[in-house]
Amino acid sequence: MQIPRVVSNMMAGGFASFASEKRTNAGRAVVRNWSAVVPNANESESRNSWALGVMGLTYFKRYRMEITLAGTLRTATVPSAYSLEPWDSALLEAHADAKYRSFCFEIDATVFPCLGERDGCRRLMDEISRRETFVPQATWLLTHHSPDTGMAESCGTIQGICDRQGVGAIQNLGVTPVHRGLGLGTQLLFQALLGFRKAGLRRAYLEVTAQNTGAVRLYERLGFRRVKTVYKAAEVAYV
Ligand X SMILES: CC(C)(COP(=O)(O)OP(=O)(O)OC[C@H]1O[C@@H](n2cnc3c(N)ncnc32)[C@H](O)[C@@H]1OP(=O)(O)O)[C@@H](O)C(=O)NCCC(=O)NCCS
What residues line the site for ligand X (CB under 6 A)? 102-103, 106, 108, 173-175, 180-186, 206, 208, 212, 214-215, 217-218
Q: Which is nearer to ligand X, 168 or 174 (CB)?
A: 174
Q: Which is nearer to ligand X, 166 or 177 (CB)?
A: 177
Q: Which is nearer to ligand X, 2 or 28 (CB)?
A: 28
Tell me the closest approach of the beta carbon of residue 221 to ligand X, in angstroms.
6
Burial class (CB in 10 A: 0-12, 13-18, 19+), 174: buried
User: How far is 219 from 103, CA to CA, in rounded Å?
Assistant: 17
User: How far is 73 from 75, CA to CA, in rounded Å?
Assistant: 7
Tell me the closest approach of the beta carbon of residue 31 to ligand X, in angstroms.
19
Tell me the closest approach of the beta carbon of residue 157 to ligand X, in angstroms.
9
Q: Which is nearer to ligand X, 92 or 218 (CB)?
A: 218
DSSP designation for 164: T
Tell me the closest approach of the beta carbon of residue 64 to ligand X, in angstroms.
11
For residue 66, give Cα distances in angstroms to 21, 72, 168, 206, 222: 29, 16, 9, 7, 11
